[in-house]
Structure 1
Amino acid sequence: MTAAFDIAANRRATEALLRAVPPAPGTRARERTLAGRRALAVTAEARASAVRHRAGAGALLWIHGGAYVAGSVDANVGFASHLAAAAGVEVVLASYRLAPEHPFPAGLDDVSAALDALAAERGGPEAVVLGGDSAGAGLALAAMLLHRDTGHALPAGAVLLCPFADLTLTNPSWTAPETDDPVIDRDTFARIVGLYTSGDLVADPYISPARADLHGLPPLLVFASETEALRDDARAIAAAAPDARLVTRAGLTHVWHLQVATLDAARADVARVGTFVSQRLTATAPVR
């Protein structure tokens, strides 16, 4: 008999992993609300003020990972501070409701509302770059599809770190011989998918956006390890989106960016994220 999935243990492990990321020097985090939900605004003073000036009042809206069932804004402050330092802008960590207590579409609704609220606050969607890691990247992509399909304006761009965005779990990378993923186990993820949505909905484009028509989306920066089980999710997104750059790394774990304090490749790729965010906000900033 297959053991039951221990949601409490999974949440504890996810929190511990995320909280292990030490903050960048000069980090500040303040409590706020966004679309009626708790959020954290994170800033770091590590970058020159010229970067912040070029980006104007822009912000990076970050959606945390945790396989749709775990993670929190509090646990992501350390990583968000490195993103803030790299991009030279405020990073807003948005909370969303988690499964199984709140299955699809609760989390997607929360992310969509947060994107609308931050865009209105900053003067328009061109002042926001959306981003997320793992399931957070999947929710970010789904929120952009929802906004496109309902006539809402889209952000200036999006960063997708190792997206978990095809919940059918049918991609070849799950069983390919070169897959060597110590973080992700298919049996565990199959149980998680069952907590997030019913089986007859799993291919819905707002649940598995990597399988969707991605026309009309803004520029995307997508990352994946060449040996992680989710690499085909990232490849499918990069192939389908009209303007997407896929960055792959050999021999690294799922969302290696979290090792920014100790791993050269993570530092380099967080810096790449920062450059992308700054460039997108600068490119779309209104002329004053």
Structure 2
Amino acid sequence: MPSLRSRALSAALVATGRRRRFATAEAVRAAVAQAARRPASHLPPRSLGRVAELSRTFVGAWPVYDASPRGQEPVARVLYVHGGAYIDELVRPHWSLIRTLVTRARARVVVPAYVLAPRGTADRNVPVAADLLSGLIESGGAGGTVLIGDSAGAGLALAAAQRLRERTGAQPSRIVLISPWLDLSMSHPGQAALEAADPVLARAGLAEAGRLYAGTLAADDPRVSPLHGSFEGLAPLTVFTGTRDVLATDSHELRRRVAAAGARLEWHEEPGMPHGYPLLPVPEGRAARDRIVELIGEAADQD
């Protein structure tokens, strides 16, 4: 049963109308137009600089942040790809998770502020993300490399891992997918029932955001929807999903396809949890973050 705090948070999300932003295609187009007029900041909070050594470089048009434990050698490397339906920048919950990875897992965390849709499309973004992953794997140093993505970022992360496997066969030590968005068509028949209970997301707006990100590619192109890609030869996967998430169908379909490919998957499904719950300040979120920290430690020990 969900914790009292998580139930209160879900009720608050419903009361504040959080889902309205994705209620219609028009709402998403309005949000994208507003962001074009007044871009949101993707800068890290100043508080992160008190516990992490921070730097920023550019990979093409992408600002890429690099955060390492202050005064300590990192034991592992993480590429973290943020969510936001491909139309939103990094926000405070993302940076809070990054802080946890730096301070508790003692990881060097590389964080791309990738170009958002409609300028940033799958055909442009996936190769750059694969380049970043390849570079981090090859950079060496202590520990292994863990690829982490949440929501849309999980889709981009998985597509990048598939692309890198096709190029060179290289893989990170582990791939962690948090509430992954893996099929941008939003066509799964099970989503209608889930949508009614989801306090955050709605199908119509997600379908429009997915269309903007797909650009000229078909929705079932693996660069757009990595659920349609191959799962052979990938690193072991860990998936976190909740039962009040319209995108939970993607996680379940991923689980089925990974099993069919004979790949390895660690599964976490929390009853009553909304989309992105491992980033939330609730007991279930803390437990998920604890497991992610453990996974990074395991990757460091295996390297």
Give the TM-score of the pair, scaled to structure 2. 0.78
Residue 264 (structure 2) aligned to one of 221, 243, 246? 243
Q: Which moved more, 1:28-37 or 1:221-230?
A: 28-37
Equivalent AA in structure 2 for residue 216 of structure 1: G
The match for 2:57 is 33
Aligned 8 A contact 1:211 1:236 in 2: no
Report the Cα offset of residue 133 of structure 1. Answer: 0.4
Partner Cα distance (2:202, 2:172) in 1: 33
Q: Distance in 1 between matches of 2:93 and 2:285?
A: 18
| 1:19-52 deviation per Cα after TM superposition (whole angstroms, max 9, x unaligned) | 999968952251232645422222457xxx7xx7
What's the secondary structure of 1:82's corresponding residue?
helix
**Gaps in structure 2 of 5+ consecutive residues:** 1-23
Give deviations 1:250-280, integer Å, cap 9, x for gaps: 1122101222xx3111111101011012102
Residue 160 of structure 2 is matched in structure 1 by 143
| 1:68-147 matched pairs, under 5 angstroms | 68-72=86-90, 76-122=94-140, 127-147=144-164
Q: Give the drift of 1:178.
A: 7.6
- Rate the CA distance shift 1:179–1:199 in 2: closer, same or farther, 3 A: farther
1:270 paired with 2:295, answer no
Compute the displacement of 1:72 (Å).
3.1
2:204 aligned to which of 187, 190, 198? 187
Q: Report the more deviating stretch, 76-85 or 97-106.
A: 76-85
Change (3 A) 1:240 1:187: same
Mapped to 1, the partners of 2:160 and 2:44 lie a distance apart of: 28
Greater displacement, 167-176 / 154-163: 167-176
The RMSD of aligned alpha carbons is 3.3
With CA pairs under 8 Å and 6+ residues apart, which has the higher RCO, 1 or 2? Answer: 2
**Mapped partners of 2:97, 2:221: distance in 1:** 31
Partner of 2:220, secondary structure, is coil
Cα distance in 2 for partners of 1:182, 1:146 equals: 33
Aligned residue for 1:175, secondary structure, equals helix
What amino acid maps onto 1:256 in structure 2?
A: Y
How many residues align? The count is 273
| Deviations 1:211-266, CA, capped at 9 Å, x for gaps | 3321111111101111210001112222222101110111122101222xx31111
Which residue in 1 is equivalent to 2:218?
A: 201
1:25·1:44 contact (CA, 8 Å) conserved in 2? no
Task: Give the corresponding residue for 2:15.
Answer: none
Shift of 1:62: 0.3
CA distance in 1: counterparts of 2:247 and 2:43, whole angstroms = 23
Alpha carbons of structure 1 residues 29 and 188: separation in structure 2 relative to 1, 3 Å: farther
The one-letter code matched in structure 2 to 1:214 is F
Report Cα offsets for 1:77-115 as digits up to 9, x if no partner: 332101223322121112222110222212212211111
* 1: CA distance, partners of 2:125 / 2:266: 26
Q: Residue 3 of structure 1 aligns to which amino acid in structure 2?
A: E
| 1:210 matched residue in structure 2 | 227
Q: Which residue of 2 aligns with 1:3?
A: 26
